[in-house]
């Protein structure tokens, strides 16, 4: 029998936030997002709200399904829910390397946080060399572009690389 568990998350599309739980295996949500056998991510106990009205649930469902390519980003409160631990001394391949502050945009949001990378520390190299279609951003905060007083933060935000419009790297501080 395969190992699986339910993890809590917030999924963001261009206009909606959906809070719920996804079933993941030993590889965590990152492995589920990278699963080539399905284009969809299943969510249990889905509560839907509009980005500009985060406190108002417009609908709820026992189950929902998301086309992975339409997910802008996923917020996790505990990075352990999103990062599989590698076999090399129990340290994840997603948390090796040097850290740098980042700023990026996706439709309707700007995201600030920290990225970990082993190779050349440039925005292009980070996006190309990082594993999978979703870029892990640690200690992250997402602000709604049109409503900057509305924000969401998490220990880990997984950002769909294809949805990134701007990706900037800071070295020790903002300009």
pLDDT tens for each residue of 107-149: 999 999 999 988 888 998 999 988 889 999 999 999 999 999 9
Answer for the pair 71, 65: CB distance below 8 angstroms, yes or no: no
CA 53 to chain centre: 21
Q: What is the average pLDDT score of the chain? A: 87
Distance from the first to the final alpha carbon of the chain: 52
Q: What integer pLDDT is reported at residue 174 of this predicted model?
A: 44
Q: How far apart are CA 104 and CA 74, in angstroms?
A: 14
| Conformation bin of residue 89: beta by default, left when phi > 0, alpha when psi is -120 to 50 | left
Q: What integer pLDDT is reported at residue 136 of this predicted model?
A: 94
Phi, psi of 89 (to 5 degrees): 60, 25
Residue 14 CB coordination number (10 Å): 12
% of the chain at pLDDT higher than 90 = 65
Phi, psi of 126 (to 5 degrees): -60, -50
pLDDT band for 85, please (50, 70, 90 cuts). Answer: low
pLDDT at 166 over 90: yes
The structure tokens 């996923």 sit at 74
Residue 128 CB coordination number (10 Å): 11
Answer for the pair 82, 158: CB distance below 8 angstroms, yes or no: yes
* Higher-pLDDT residue of 23, 83: 23
Q: How far apart are CA 26 and CA 5, in angstroms?
A: 8
Q: What integer pLDDT is reported at residue 17 of this predicted model?
A: 96
pLDDT band for 172, please (50, 70, 90 cuts). Answer: very low
The structure tokens 């769909």 sit at 160
Q: What integer pLDDT is reported at residue 146 of this predicted model?
A: 92
% of the chain at pLDDT higher than 70 = 87
159: nearest Cα among 100, 93, 119, 115: 115
pLDDT band for 171, please (50, 70, 90 cuts). Answer: low
Q: What integer pLDDT is reported at residue 156 of this predicted model?
A: 95
pLDDT band for 49, please (50, 70, 90 cuts). Answer: very high
């Amino acid at each position: 029998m395969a190992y699986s568990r339910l993890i809590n998350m917030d999924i963001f599309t261009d206009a909606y936030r959906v809070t719920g739980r996804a079933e993941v295996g030993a590889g965590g949500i990152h492995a589920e997002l990278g699963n080539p056998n399905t284009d969809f991510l299943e969510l249990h106990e889905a509560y839907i709200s509009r980005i500009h009205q985060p406190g108002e649930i417009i609908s709820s469902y026992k189950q929902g399904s998301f086309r992975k390519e339409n997910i802008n980003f996923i917020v996790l409160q505990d990075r352990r829910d999103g990062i599989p631990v590698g076999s090399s001394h129990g340290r994840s391949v997603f948390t090796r390397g040097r850290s740098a502050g980042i700023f990026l945009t996706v439709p309707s949001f700007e995201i600030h946080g920290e990225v970990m990378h082993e190779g050349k520390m440039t925005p292009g190299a980070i996006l190309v060399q990082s594993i999978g279609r979703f870029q892990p951003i640690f200690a992250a905060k997402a602000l709604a572009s049109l409503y900057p007083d509305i924000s969401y933060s998490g220990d880990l935000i997984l950002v769909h690389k294809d949805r990134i419009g701007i990706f900037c790297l800071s070295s020790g501080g903002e300009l």
